Chain A
């Protein structure tokens, strides 16, 4: 095989795969949102924009958008604060640092299912370890899943535990690229640790933070498994986000077109948010 044909063969595979796994599903999904389909085997019936009209006039859509946004923002902010804090600590030198660094990543490795099941076991009403611990301190029982705000906080708590290591690892890698001389110079100028963090560390790590916030934002906004496994969107739909709503419509209420419409709208909203984000924080390209 000549040089050119190898490259062309590779490129052909690339184009075909991209079409098959990326372009086609999305086009198909968007086109489904213009049809009424009551099951996945039924014959679709063209209804134009009717699915969108019905979704957008549905109170549940706006509630899901709001509670999904609250969930995403809360868990991203907490992941960032905790992740940066941990990275700053793990960047100091102390006995056993290597071990602590390794162990601190473990939550990120675990499947969501395991984390949620273990959390539910730990807060189990009769014999959960956290329940017993709160009891022994004489604290009142926490109803983890029964009120809308408690359920939301439980979802956020589990998400922060699982995904903070991503922020920690990226920030820690960035910290190691900041030259010591910058800190020395700042120290000579009589700054304290907090001022050095604000005026040296943060500006140096801004490119990394921009990407980390973007990636975490996309994934927390699209999150399905945590919410579905923890609360199924309840109580009374209060923790349902757009991903859960889209799933419920397509697979529980057999409204495939409606589910596709919710997924499409969710994608449009996210794209718009990312567009605004890039306007505010342009990526530095090399």
Chain B
């Protein structure tokens, strides 16, 4: 065999090792969630021979999981929508407004990126209790906005800056107002950037544990990461149900990633950090 074929073969083996390293825990989580109790707690085989949906049924019928799932959808959905609206307006103003001092907004947003979570969570929690909205989904959305807004503004600012101003001018010459030019010309051209911001805002909000455990205390308002984590603290450890719950949280993320991985990698490259 020529040397380069050997090298390619070895590289493929290394590639296989990387796949096992990265994906095995995910595979194991899914497999453990469909393995009947007798085999889950006794044999260790890589591929299960019998399957069951028992844990999923228990999870959906006997626990608060469906309620927590709905809460997560509401919180992540609202966070994405509000982030998009505000970040687009702020980033556009900062990118186009020609006066010194506008940088203050961008710098403040950058600073917010490095705040310790508790520096933001303690005052927000105190504040929402004071106005009677402690332990509410609204307070959690507000907390998530402190993560997603800096990210969105920072990313879209870079995006709008790279769009030449001439495109708005041309639209305005054709009779558009500034707002019209923005909505009809700038926004459609920014769709890739908007998708990236939406993907990351969703990811941050959907996966967040830190803010959720601080802002939410009552069982009905918990989001799934917190609800699931509290299952493991209980006396009776039910690994089958815990793994089923984990699989259901991961599923939307894996689906979104399969279709939008391009935007995801783009965002990563631009420093859109999650965790």
Contacts of B118 in A (CB 8 A): 224, 243, 246-247, 250, 259, 262-263, 266
Give the shortest distance, in Å, between A47 (CB) and chain B (any CB). 16
Which of B109, B129, B246 lies in contact with A41, CB distance below 8 A?
B129
Q: Is A7 a contact of B269 with CB atoms below 8 Å?
A: no
Is the C-beta of B71 less than 8 angstroms from some C-beta in chain A?
no
Is the C-beta of B74 less than 8 angstroms from some C-beta in chain A?
no
Considering the chains assembled together, what is the distance between the CA atoms of A166 and B274 in angstroms?
A: 9
Is the C-beta of B136 less than 8 angstroms from some C-beta in chain A?
no
Which of B8, B40, B242, B250 lies in contact with A110, CB distance below 8 A?
B250
Considering the chains assembled together, what is the distance between the CA atoms of A155 and B102 in angstroms?
A: 41
Considering the chains assembled together, what is the distance between the CA atoms of A264 and B209 in angstroms?
A: 21
Is the C-beta of A201 less than 8 angstroms from some C-beta in chain B?
no
Of A11-19, A55-63, A181-189, which stretch is located at the interface?
A11-19
Which of A1, A7, A115, A121 lies in contact with B32, CB distance below 8 A?
A121
Is the C-beta of B173 less than 8 angstroms from some C-beta in chain A?
no
Contacts of B232 in A (CB 8 A): 117, 120
Q: Is A264 a contact of B246 with CB atoms below 8 Å?
A: no
Q: Is A7 a contact of B209 with CB atoms below 8 Å?
A: no
Count A interface residues, CB 8 Å: 97
Q: Is B18 a contact of A163 with CB atoms below 8 Å?
A: no
Contacts of A170 in B (CB 8 A): 268-269
Q: Which residue of A lies closest to B153 (CB)?
A: A14
Q: Dominant SS at the B interface?
A: helix
Q: Is A40 a contact of B179 with CB atoms below 8 Å?
A: no
Contacts of A211 in B (CB 8 A): 271
Q: Is B273 a contact of A219 with CB atoms below 8 Å?
A: yes
Q: Is A89 a contact of B11 with CB atoms below 8 Å?
A: yes
Give the shortest distance, in Å, between A45 (CB) and chain B (any CB). 15
Contacts of B209 in A (CB 8 A): 111-113, 225, 229
List 14 A-B residue pairs with CB atoms under 8 Å apart, sorted by A's residue number.
A7-B96, A26-B119, A89-B15, A105-B264, A106-B23, A111-B208, A112-B207, A113-B209, A113-B228, A114-B225, A166-B273, A225-B209, A243-B117, A266-B118
Seen from chain B, the residues whose Cβ lies within 8 Å of a Cβ on chain A are 8, 11-12, 14-16, 18-19, 22-23, 25-26, 28-29, 32, 40-42, 44, 86, 89-90, 92-94, 96-97, 102, 104-105, 108-109, 111-120, 122-127, 129, 134, 142, 145-146, 149-150, 153, 172, 177-179, 182, 203, 206-210, 213-214, 225-226, 228-229, 232, 239, 242-243, 246, 249-250, 253-254, 257, 261, 264-265, 268-269, 271, 273-275
3 closest residue pairs by CB, A with B: A3-B178, A111-B207, A14-B90
